[in-house]
Structure 1
Amino acid sequence: MQQVYKDKFPAWVDFIEDEYDLVLSNDIDSLLSCLLLNQMFGWKIRYFYDFHTLYKAVDDEKDNEQLYIDIDVLNGKGWSNHVTMLNKNSMYNKEIANLNTIFRISRENYTSKYCGSTFLTLLSYYNYPIFLFNDEAEMILLAIDTAFKGYYSADFRRFNYFYLHNVLDFKHLYELQQKHTIDDFYSIINKYKLYAKIHISNNKISSNLPLTQLSELFYLSKELETLINTRFKAIQQFEYVVYDINKANIDLSDVFSFALTHKNTAKYSIQK
């Protein structure tokens, strides 16, 4: 990542000697991001959050500060990529490492947003050697959260270029799109079931995602093996809301996590 943009991230992201308990969410972006952080820094995945329920690992280890991965909580530290601001003057959580808040992306300039994944942000920020990945793995990097879509639109290609080339310093990923059609990327999504969700079944992580295959592509198999053998228990319940912002203002007083999934649609969880 270009240093001028790294300097805009919250300071805590460079204190890697600190201990955190990772909070995994229910999709592939969060999973790969958590496995990567576990591999790089030894932080353990001790929580799982599916936006309805927060689960905690059943173990006897001491509790560390929670780090929310691909989750935009209103309070606490984390890495994410969602748009969370309703307008340029909106309050936001300054402890979340998120390119869309760094660039002040809101409903007002929603089409200028960073469409890449949290995983891609992490790889760039920590200068991970992604040259180790094969072409198919690199296509997956662009397929998660459909980062590739902007390239195939005349209106959005400049933003696709800006974030991949100028911000993340992944020029070769931008050029990879030039070698493929949009259908090639949708084929990758289908092949690896990238839209599939993660859930808890019999107190353990479960998914229709080809977890082993994906973890092998990114050299994260050891970390995955530990995760799938971890047992979890529910510790907190939430009300999950999908809301049309055009209807009325949102009361954020009891909101735990919040994101705009489309310009006029908010998804958030309320603490019970």
Structure 2
Amino acid sequence: MQNKLKDKFPEWCFNNEQGQNSLILTDDLDSLLGCAIEKFVKGNDINYFYSFKSLNVADRTDKRKAIGIDLALHKGKSWCNHVVRINEDDYVNPQTANINALLKIHSGNYFKKYAMSTVLTMWSFYNLPLPETKEGKMLLLCIDSGYLGHYSDSFKDVHTAYLKLLGFEELIDLLNKTHKFEYEMLQGKYNTKAKIKLNNDGYLQTNLPLAELQGLFGIPLELPTQQFTKMFQFQDDIGSTYSIRSKEQIDKRIISFALTGSKKFKYTYA
């Protein structure tokens, strides 16, 4: 990652003490692999599961501060890739490690956004070596369909600029030598869009082929085996930037917030 970007990240990201935080997992591969990176680099492990309807906990006695992974928290530490501003001057969580937040992306310049995964941000920030195999590198780009921008005539330059900021020129070369359909086939082969859910007994389950993915990414990848219980229940809603021009206009206690398009947003509240 180039220093002109890395230097913008919150101070807590540079703390190398081991096991100082717990992690909040959400419902997809981007979050699970992001949690695996945090554990691999800093020894932090999952204690919470956020379903966007509720926050569930495994060990209620764990008092460590939690980090949300691939989670657009309104307050508190998080790694994230979402657009979290409605307007340029909108409130943004000062503890979020989010390229779009750091570079002031909002509804007005939405199509200049970082449109790749949280995992790719973390991989770059922690200066991890790319997967050894071509398939592993391609799978890294499959997460959150991070390859897509390269194959859009109107967005390719923006996509390439972000990969250069991340220090991933090797991935630019790979994208230039591969085709969009190859990534789509890999997404199907490894079921990369499969969700993570809590079953009725409070245990996490998924159809992601974790052992195969672990081998390709070179990082231990597994679901927690502990039983989870509900800690907080939330509600969610959607809105439009045509009528809501700032998060300050939302008269509810926001838990998470993200734009889902240039004119639409979704948020969770208590």
**Contact 1:58-1:233 within 8 A present in 2 as well:** no
Q: What TM-score do you get using the length of structure 2 for normalisation?
A: 0.93
Q: Which of residues 196, 199, 211 is equivalent to 1:198?
A: 196
* Alpha-carbon distance in structure 1 between the residues aligned to 2:136 and 2:237: 34
Q: Tell me which amino acid in the other structure corresponds to 1:185.
A: Y
Deviation (angstroms), 1:248? 4.3
Look up the equivalent residue of 1:93 and give its one-letter code: N
Farther-moved stretch of structure 1 (120-129 vs 185-194): 185-194
Q: CA deviation at 1:162?
A: 0.3
CA distance in 1, matches of 2:169, 2:219: 24
**Would the alpha carbon gap of residues 245 and 197 (structure 1) be closer, same or farther in structure 2, given more than 3 Å must change?**
farther
How much has 1:252 moved relative to structure 2? Answer: 5.2
Partner of 2:93, secondary structure, is coil
Match of 1:207 in 2: 206
Alignment of 1:170-185 (within 5 A): 170-185=168-183
> Structure 1: any 5+ residue segments left out of the alignment?
none
Corresponding position: 1:46 with 2:42: no
Q: What letter is aligned with 1:25?
A: T
Correspondence list, 1:55-204, <5 A: 55-58=56-59, 62-130=62-130, 132-165=131-164, 167-201=165-199, 202-204=201-203
The equivalent of 1:242 in structure 2 is 238
For 1:21-40, list aligned pairs within 5 A: 21-40=22-41
- Structure 2: state its 5+ residue gaps: none
Counterpart of 2:189, as a letter, is K
Q: Could you tell me how far apart the structure 1 residues matched to 2:92 and 2:251 are?
A: 11
When residues 217 and 22 of structure 1 are mapped into structure 2, their CA distance, relative to the original with a 3 A threshold, is same
SS where residue 234 of structure 2 aligns?
A: strand
Higher deviation after alignment, 189-198 or 31-40: 189-198
**Superposition misfits of 4+ residues, deviation over 6 angstroms:** none
Aligned 8 A contact 2:46 2:224 in 1: no
Taking only aligned residues, the RMSD between alpha carbons, in angstroms, comes to 1.6
For 1:146, the aligned partner's letter is S
SS at the partner of 1:72?
Answer: coil
Report the alpha carbon displacement of residue 218 of structure 1 after superposing the two structures with TM.
1.7
Question: 2:185, 2:236 → 1: CA distance?
Answer: 31
Find the aligned partners of 1:104 and 1:35 in 2 and give their Cα distance: 28
- The alignment covers a number of residue pairs equal to 265
* Corresponding residue number in structure 2 for 1:228: 224
Counterpart amino acid of 1:21? S
**With structure 1 as the length reference, what TM-score do the two structures score?**
0.92
Q: Distance in 1 between matches of 2:122 and 2:229?
A: 28
Change (3 A) 1:235 1:59: closer
Give yes or no for contact 2:150–2:160 (8 Å, CA) kept in 1.
Answer: yes
Q: Percent identity?
A: 34
Sort the Cα spacing of 1:67 and 1:88 in 2 relative to 1 into closer, same or farther, 3 A.
same
Deviation at 1:59, TM superposition (A): 6.5
